[in-house]
Structure formats: structure tokens, C-alpha cells
Structure 1
Amino acid sequence: MGTTPTQVMAFPNIRAIVRDNGTAEVIVAGNSRIVPAGDSMQELRNNALALIVGEAQTLQRPVRVRIEDPEGHGELIVRPDNKIESVSYEPAPARRRAEAPETTPATAAPAIIETAPAPEPMAVPAPAASVDAQPWPPAPATATPEPQTAAVVEEAAPTRRSLKETSFLVSAPVLEPATQGWRGTLTRLGLRMDPSEEELTEREDIRTVSQHWPGPRTIAVVNRKGGANKTPTVVMLSAILARYSGAATVAWDNNESQGTLGWRTEKGAHDRSVLDLIDASTELLSPSTNAAEIAKFVHHQTADKFDVLRSDENEEGDHEVTAEEVDIAHQVLTRYYRLVVMDSGNTARAANWRRMIDHTNQLVVPVTAIEDRAEAARLTLQTLESRGGHDAELARNAVVIVSESTDAKRSMSGEALKRAKDEAQRIADGFAPFVRAVVRIPYDPALVNGPIRYEALQPATQRAWLAAAAAVAAGF
């Protein structure tokens, strides 16, 4: 169902002024835009409407416009699909008396006007799509001449709207100039340039990952196969979300025995792990405990601004985390952190794995572009879907992150590199119909070995991980 005229917002304030000297301007929130000249008054009106349609398309909604020209003034609703609706129109008294002293303009209710070809071609440059509008002002309906009606038209009170329908606030934010590429270079040289589509997309991703959401959120990063890039995915998502949102973020290694998250991240001044945090849970959950006490149990990443809760590093590996222990640790962490990103083991049947899923708000399935890793990811999603309920909903709304193979890149020829990219695309396309989002990550040697740092990544890899984090945050 379409938007009715009364539902169309009165901001930003838009005016279209056409003068009898052949000039016109469109004023949007106080900013004037000169209308390209036309060979006739009607063509000048069409050119003004083209600019207004462009504004409606930019805002992706109908806009309310006050029109003023030598023949009268009124109000239009202009829609992004080039449809124009007349809300009110009042002819100029002097001109109306001279041209039709005995004719009463029609007072029919407003109706949507489909655009029709104008008698003359338009020459409108590109801020907006071309518009072939009905004549402006609207043509009056034929009426029987009545000598007494002219005075009635002159004395009619102007249409009044409620103050509730009016606002002096500008709804659309001012578009900041370009900062990247040649457009950014020209802006820095003093020639203001609008950003490219790529820069606008990046800005939107940054806005998405920078938002704050009500209550804590838990992300589970899962794949039943080792070597699928789970730990790098946990680190990258934690780093980007912590950097941009400023939310207290912890990456938790929920491996049932001993995981590798602690090996790929910065170590603090202690050796404590999740088992120590569980042992101290009563104290940490006490209302009198200071928030800074959590630092005794986690390892802060000084550059990437998130904390790491390590798995048990007992060399004998004789303790397996239970479901109850997952509950306790999760209760503690969600008291101190707004975002919990959980690494996982490879056993979907393990008690701690299944309890992790119970606490999860957003599922992430990483996979390297190797067929057995992709098949393991498919089976992981299939397992969750078959369980129904919350598990199945997580699977349907999952984000799959496909990383190009890291195993063979060191010695690949150009043709082999192309085949690797094609394989990554094939796997991404295969997952796309079954999950909420799929994001591809290029190969980057900084993710292969050693501690992972966001700043060590190549720019293209950083951009890809930002897109992945935005896809995840969109599910919050």
C-alpha cells in the first residue's frame, strides 16, 4: 500500500521557484540549486521537477514540495517513480482574472498524476532522472461560466496544515565529500567531490559495525572441520567490532579441551584461563565486585582493543568443559562485556558446543576454499537445521565467510591463483541460497601464522573483513 499525501513528511523543506524572466531554482533545506534553462516556461518547470525527483530518489521516499511561479502557487507530492500528486494549487489572482474572469477552477480531491510525455524534449543534466510531467500548474477542469465566481476564487483562504505536519529539522544528513581515490584527491585540492559508490558502501559498513545494540550479544564461530579459519575469524570480528563500536568485547575460546586462540593472540601478565574464571565466578558475579576485576582473567589486546578468555592450557588436557561451566562463564562475561565472540572445537555433539549454541544470537560459519572444509561447513549447518527451533533459526540466518585457500598460495602460478579464486566463488555461490549472507575474504599471509593483528593485514583484506563484520552486526 502506497504512502498517502498526509503521511509524506514536510522535511527537508523543498521549494521550487519559477520566475517570469526564464530562471528557476530548487531550494532544498536552504541550499539553492539552479534549474537548467528551458525553451519555454513548461520546460523550465519540467527541469525543476527533474531535480526534485532526483531528491526523492536520493531519500528513497516521496517528498513534499512548495511551488511558486508567475501563474500561481501550491503544493505537490513528488515520488521517486516520477509520479506527481497535486495537493493544493491557488492561481495568481491578477493573471486568473485576465485570462478567465468567469471560470472557476476545479476543486476535485487530490489524485496521483501519472507522468505523460511533454510537448517539448527536456535537456536536464544528470542529478536526476528525466521527468516528463503533466503541466504545472494543473489545468482546470471545464466548468460552466458563472459571473459571480471570480471573487470567490480570490478570497479563498489558503490551505492550512497542522503544526504537527511541519518540522524545521533536516532529515537527510549532509553528504560528506569524498576522502578516497581521485575524488578524495580533488576534494583535498579544493574541488569538492561526492564520494564514489565504493566509498559510500564502506561508510555504510562502518556505520553498521559502529552501532550500539540493547543488551549483550553472543556470536558463535563454528565449523566441524579443523583448519577452516575459525580462530582468525574470531580475532578479526572481535577486533573490528571492538574498534568501531567501542563496545566491551571478549573473544572466548570455547574448545572443549585446549584451543588455539591463545596462541594467535597477545598474552597478558598472567596465565589464567576459563577454568580460573569459573572458579572465581561467585566473586565476579557479586554486586560489590569492581568491573576492573575481570582483567585478572582475560588477556587484553592492546592494539585491537578486545580481551581474550583462553581455554585451559593444562598440558595433560584432562579437563573437558561441561554445559554447566559454559552457563557460568557466559553469565560472568555478559555482566562485564556487551559482545562475546566464541571460538569452538570441532565436535558438534560435545556438551559445551551445544550449550554455546543455546546462548548464541548470531552464527558465523568460516570456511577455507577447499572442498572438505566446505563440506564440513555444510554438515554443520545441516546438523543445526535438523534440530529445529533456535538452532534451525541460527542456521538460516548464519553468515558464511569464505577465505581463499592459504595452503597452496605460497607457490601458485597466475593460472593456479585464478583457479583458487574461482573455487572460492563457487563455494560462496553454493552457500548463498541457504544463509543470510556470504562474504569472501582474499588470501593474506598475515593470517597464516603467528599472532593476528588487524593493522598487519593488506588494505583489501581489511576492507573484506569490515564487510564481513557488517554482515554479522546486521543480525544483532
Structure 2
Amino acid sequence: MAIEKSLIQPEPVISAIINGDNTGVLKINGEEHPYEAPDVNDLRQALMKRVIGEAATLGRPVRVTSMDDSGVSYLVVSPVGEVEEEQPEAVPEDASRIIERIPSAPAATTTVTPSTATTTVTKGPAAAAGTAAPVEAPATRRSIREASSFLAAPSTVEPAAQGIRGWLNSLGMSLAPSEDELSEREDIRLASKHFAGTRTIAVANQKGGSNKTPTVADLAAVFGRNGGSVVAWDNNPTTGTLGWRTQQGDHSRSALDVIAAADALLSPTAQSADINAFVHHQSTDKYDVLRSDADVAGTHEVTAEEVDILHRVVSKYYRMIVMDSGNNHRSAEWIRMIDHADQLVVPTTNVEDRVEAALLTLQGLDLKGERSAALAANAVVIVSEMQKGETRLSQQTAEKFRPYVRDVVVVPFDEALKSGQIRYGALAPATRRAWLRAAAAVARGL
């Protein structure tokens, strides 16, 4: 049965804050009680146990405002462990502040037993059945061609899987996802999209140290992990860093070896697995890397025609190409990369000369010709923080570019991106979310 809300009093005012590092704070009438647990579900269980104990001590239900990465939820907890979610408009102003509007969800009551986390779910009362009115035949018949589809438009939304709502749903409720979770689902949908034909993403900034290689690796990882057929191509005139910062296969072949074997790889008898002898698979991030030549004594410089050959080969074997680049915007392979690009990504840090180089990259393409100007106008700028405490500076950098490009995304500082091999799964949740947001922004332009 539903919790009797008329028994609730203005006090105690209770709020639960759940942090991303598995720590939390329970506030009761302003008094803070810190919590820490091995994982977020244990943390929620501990907080809920304390709230149920508070309700049991008072002998009546209490209201709780719960805040985590997925948003804000307004809960009513009974002395026996029943939990209901309230809509913001039903919460008295003196009980909690309304921070966000929460989508409506089916009414449900969950009984939480703190020691065992078992549940009993009681659905809200069904609407009373009315008396059906007699159906009258239409006065005149209409053409069957005028009939629209009898299939209902799909409107079902999967219940929340994240945050406090996801946890409550795991205990038997059926709460709708928050706006943040819905936004993340939409970004995943975009990053998972399959396009008709191969799409090429050019990652370019005329200045070294602008975070080009991590941008290539992380975008490729997002698209690869979401089911794409992705290759990250190091289109550098000399030894590029993409090979250093990604996993090496059981060989040392590079783009030059692909050029030498192009006829065989492009032949009608070539099989999809043949490309595996030339690329380096990223086992956890689900994309391949085509390395640049790493021979320190090498003298071969890739020509524009050879870039065309390489692009034909990788287009045959992959649906998405993410191209890393050098710093010389006048070189043949840089110019040809732009010719093949469907989407331009311009990475930068907050360092002044990198920001200026990003601007010059966009301006140069705008002046070059109609097609490159369209790429510049449709570009996605990604601002990566290279050290802690740059949040305000990053927003200032982002605002400089917003009037001139299609989208700007800020990626927070992450220790896992500073050096060594780049592993998407090693990044902090906020960093992964930012790269997913960046990949979705890129996908919108494809």
C-alpha cells in the first residue's frame, strides 16, 4: 500500500549526497554525517539504512532529497523501509529545494530491508474501469487509402539504470531516467550510428602539443566501443606518436607496408581479415591503429597520391576513419587529408599558442576554398585540460570558439591521459562522459 504522506512533518530535513568516488554525506537538519563504501550500491544501502532508522525512531515517514551524478530525486521513506519517489511539484518548499524537473514515472512502492536488500513492490491503484459506450458505425464509408497506420508510435522508455533511480529500480521499482541519463543515451545512440558509406574524421591543429593524438585515440575508442568499424590512422609525415600511445600488435607494419600491398588489399579476392596483418588492434577499446613509418633512418615521404591509395584501402575495410595529422598544414599528406575529410575536429589545450594555432587552422581552411570553408564552419573544437584547476579557463577558451564553429566540448583533466598508453576504461567517469559527448557532437556532422 502507498505510504501515508499526511503523517510527514516539515522536520527533519534530510538530504543525501552521493559522490562519484563512493563517498557521501547524509544531512539531517543541517548536521552532516559522512559515509564511505567499497562501491556506490553499498554506499546507497548504508545511507538508506540510516534514513529508515530515522523514520523508525520517529514512527512516521520522512522526506529525503537524494543527489548524485544522475541528478536529483525526491523520496519518501517509511519506518518499515518502503520507498516512494515524489514529483518535484509535490514536494513542499520548506522540505527541499527543487533543483530539476524529474520526468514522471509509474507510481510504485518498494520495501527495502537494509540487511538483505530484498524488495516487495506494490503498484499504485489501477484506474477504475468505466462502462464502454456503444460504437456506432460511420455514416459513410471512406477510402481505405485514407487510413493511417494502426501501429502505435514507439514511446516506451527503458527505466533508469543510473544513480539513485537505477538503484531503486534494481530493488523492484520502475522509475523513469533523469534528464542526464536520457542525454547520455542519446549520445550513445549517435556514437553507435552506422552510416551509408565510410566517414572520415580529420583531427588537425597546426601546433604540436595540442592534444591531437589523445583526441584521435579517445574518439576512436568511443566509436569502437559502441559497435563501429573504426581505424585510427596516423597520417604523419614522420614518426607519429599514435603508435607510441596505443597497443602494438604482433608485428611492426605501418602505412608504408599498406601502400606496398595496396594492389592485393584492393583486389576482388581480398578478404576482410587481410587488413589485420597491417594494423594494430586495440583489444579493450575495439578499434585498429594504422601507424606511421617509425624507421628513424627512413627517407620516404608520403605523397598525395599515396594518401589517396591508403584512403581507398582503409575505406574498403572500415566504416569510420579517424585521422591524426602532423603540424605542417602545407604538406601533401595534410592537404590530402582535408580533401578526404567529412568532419573536421580541432583539438586544443588552454595554452595560449595552442589556442591561437587552432584559430589559425580554422581561418586557413576558411580561406582555402568552398569545401574546406564548410569543414571549418561545421568543425567541432575540443578543449582538453592539461592540469587541474582549469575549469574556468576552459570555459573561457570554449566561449572564444563557439560563435565560429558548430560545437565545442570541454574535456576535464585526467591523470590517465598525461602519458603512457591511452585506455578509455582507465579514464575517470567524468572524462569518459566528456569524450562520449564529443563523439556525439562529431557524429551529428556526419
Q: Could you state the TM-score of these two structures normalised by the residue count of structure 2?
A: 0.68
1-side partners of 2:179 and 2:397: how far apart? 27
2:338 to 347, 357, 377: 357
Instruction: Supply the distance in 2 between the matched residues of 1:290 and 1:155 (Cα, whole angstroms).
Output: 62
**2:432 corresponds to 1:451:** no
Give structure 2 stretches of 5+ with no counterpart: 1-102, 106-135
1:277-288 alignment, distance < 5 Å: 277-288=258-269
1:190, CA displacement in angstroms?
A: 1.6
The alignment status of 1:320 with 2:301, answered yes or no, reads yes
Task: Give the counterpart letter for 2:325 in structure 1.
Answer: S
Per the alignment, residue 384 of structure 1 pairs with 365
> Is 1:340 matched up with 2:321?
yes
Q: Is the Cα–Cα contact under 8 Å of residues 366 and 372 in structure 2 kept in the other structure?
A: yes
Q: Which amino acid aligns with 1:367?
A: T
Q: Does 1:393 align with 2:374?
A: yes
Aligned residue identity for 2:296: E
Cα deviation, residue 474, structure 1: 1.0
Distance in 2 between residues matched to 1:158 and 1:456, nearest whole Å? 67
**Alpha-carbon spacing, 1:155–1:334, altered in 2? closer, same or farther (3 Å):** closer
Question: Is 1:433 matched up with 2:414?
Answer: no
What residue number does 2:178 align with?
196
Q: Helix, strand or coil: the match of 2:348?
A: strand
Of all paired residues, the percent bearing the same amino acid is: 58
Q: Deviations over 1:356-391 (max 9, x none)?
A: 100000000011111111100000000000012111
Contact (CA 8 Å) 1:258, 1:317: kept in 2 or not?
no
Greater shift, 160-169 or 333-342, is seen at 160-169
How many residues are matched?
Answer: 314
- Whether 1:367 and 2:348 are equivalent positions in the alignment is yes
Q: How does 1:73-472 map to 2 (within 5 A)?
A: 157=139, 160=142, 162=144, 164-244=146-226, 246-406=227-387, 409=388, 417=389, 420-472=390-442
**C-alpha spacing 1:458/1:282, structure 2 compared with 1 (3 Å):** same
Contact 2:104 2:176 in 1 (8 A): no
Distance 2:439 2:318 in 1: 18
Name the amino acid aligned to 2:313. V
Amino acid at match of 2:300: H
Structure 2 Cα separation of the partners of residues 208 and 161 of structure 1 = 40
Structure 2 SS opposite 1:329: helix
Q: CA deviation at 1:345?
A: 0.2
TM-score of the superposed pair, with normalisation by structure 1? 0.64
> How many angstroms apart in 2 are the aligned matches of 1:281 and 1:228?
32
**Worse-superposed segment, 168-177 or 305-314:** 168-177
Secondary structure, in 3 states, of the residue corresponding to 1:312? coil
The alignment partner of 2:402 has SS state of helix
SS of the counterpart of 1:270? coil
Q: Is the 8 A contact 2:386 2:418 kept in 1?
A: no
Q: Note the C-alpha offset of 1:404.
A: 1.2
CA contact (8 A) 1:257 1:321 kept: no
Aligned-partner Cα distance in 2 for 1:434–1:450: 34
- The equivalent residue for 1:102 is none
How far residue 314 of structure 1 moved from its aligned partner, in angstroms, is 0.9
For the 8 Å contact 2:203–2:216, the answer to whether it is kept is yes
- The two structures, once aligned, show a CA RMSD in angstroms of 1.8
* 1:439-461 deviation line (CA, Å, top 9, x unaligned): 11000011110000010000111
Gaps of 5+ in 1: 1-125, 129-153, 410-416
Look up the SS of the partner of 1:263 in the other structure: coil
Decide which moves more: 444-453 or 313-322: 313-322
Contact 2:191 / 2:439 at 8 angstroms: preserved in 1?
yes
Residue identity opposite 2:405 in structure 1? V
C-alpha distance in 2 between matches for 1:363 and 1:469: 12
* SS of equivalent residue, structure 2 residue 403: helix
1:24 is aligned to none
* Offset at residue 161 of structure 1 (A): 6.7
User: How far apart are residue 166 of structure 1 and its match?
Assistant: 2.7
Q: Provide the rounded CA distance (Å) in 1 between the counterparts of 2:201 and 2:104.
A: 42
Question: Structure 2 vs 1, CA of residues 194 and 351 (structure 1 numbering), >3 Å: closer, same or farther?
Answer: same
Q: Secondary structure at the match of 2:293?
A: coil
* CA distance in structure 1 between the partners assigned to 2:260 and 2:138 by the alignment: 81
Aligned to 1:474: 444
Partner Cα separation in structure 2 for residue 454 and residue 164 of structure 1: 52
What's the offset of the Cα at 1:322? 1.2
Q: AA paired with 1:450?
A: G
Q: Deviations over 1:181-223 (max 9, x none)?
A: 1111221222211110000000000111111110001000000
Separation in 2, partners of 1:159, 1:365: 61
Letter in 1 for 2:225: R
Q: Larger radius of gyration, structure 1 or 2?
A: 1
Any idea what SS the aligned residue of 1:262 has? coil
Counterpart amino acid of residue 451 in structure 1? Q
